[in-house]
Amino acid sequence: MDNFVFMGGGGATLGLVLSMGILVIMHRSSKQIKTLTPLTLTPGLFNINEPAMLGLPVVLNMNIVIPFVLVPILNAITTYAAMSLEWVPLCTGAIIPWTMPPVISGFLATISLNGSILQIINIILDVLVYFPFVLTLNRQYVLEEQGQLNEENE
């Protein structure tokens, strides 16, 4: 499950963190997302999602609840389909540490490059699902920041 479904930790938050990174690269992010992205990206690559869960915050954030639940389900469906159609070999049963970064863990779990390719496909799908919700959250943060600036100027 850690290798193909929960990449980046619970809720497959690697897609969330990469979506935040895309916003920062596009120079359209709020100060909060711009500050959090470098703090969450490195741990996210090693399936540690506490910085994103508590820093963004994901916990009790209604903007992120929908993709947080749907993305692992989508990953499970694509992984099941790829393995049942024999596009990707079944996992070998080797115990891969949960902190092993994606792409490497996919290869080690299946002893096939197709495992890594499946992880890349899942990550792309995760980013596509998370991105609209991150945009909405970013707009909310920008409005809050503008409101704080207006209050300080008055």
Q: What type of residue is 61?
A: N
The answer to whether 91 and 109 have CB atoms below 8 angstroms apart is: yes
Q: How many CA atoms lie within 13 A of 137 on its CB side?
A: 24
Average pLDDT over residues 139-144: 91
Q: How many structural domains compose the chain?
A: 1
Q: Quick one: pLDDT at residue 15? A: 95
Instruction: Please report whether residue 66 resides in a domain.
Output: yes
The whole model's pTM is what? Answer: 0.90
Q: Is the pLDDT score of 124 beyond 90? A: yes
Q: What percent of the chain has pLDDT over 70?
A: 96
> Which residue in this structure is represented by tokens 């389909």?
81
Q: Quick one: pLDDT at residue 6? A: 92
Q: Per-residue pLDDT tens for 37-86?
A: 999 999 999 999 999 999 888 888 888 999 999 999 999 999 999 999 99
Q: Quick one: pLDDT at residue 153? A: 67
Q: Quick one: pLDDT at residue 152? A: 67
Instruction: Please report whether residue 5 resides in a domain.
Output: no
Instruction: Please report whether residue 83 resides in a domain.
Output: yes
Instruction: Please report whether residue 6 resides in a domain.
Output: no
- Print the domain residue range for 148: 14-153
The answer to whether 67 and 8 have CB atoms below 8 angstroms apart is: no
First to last CA, the chain: 52
Kindly report the length of the chain.
154
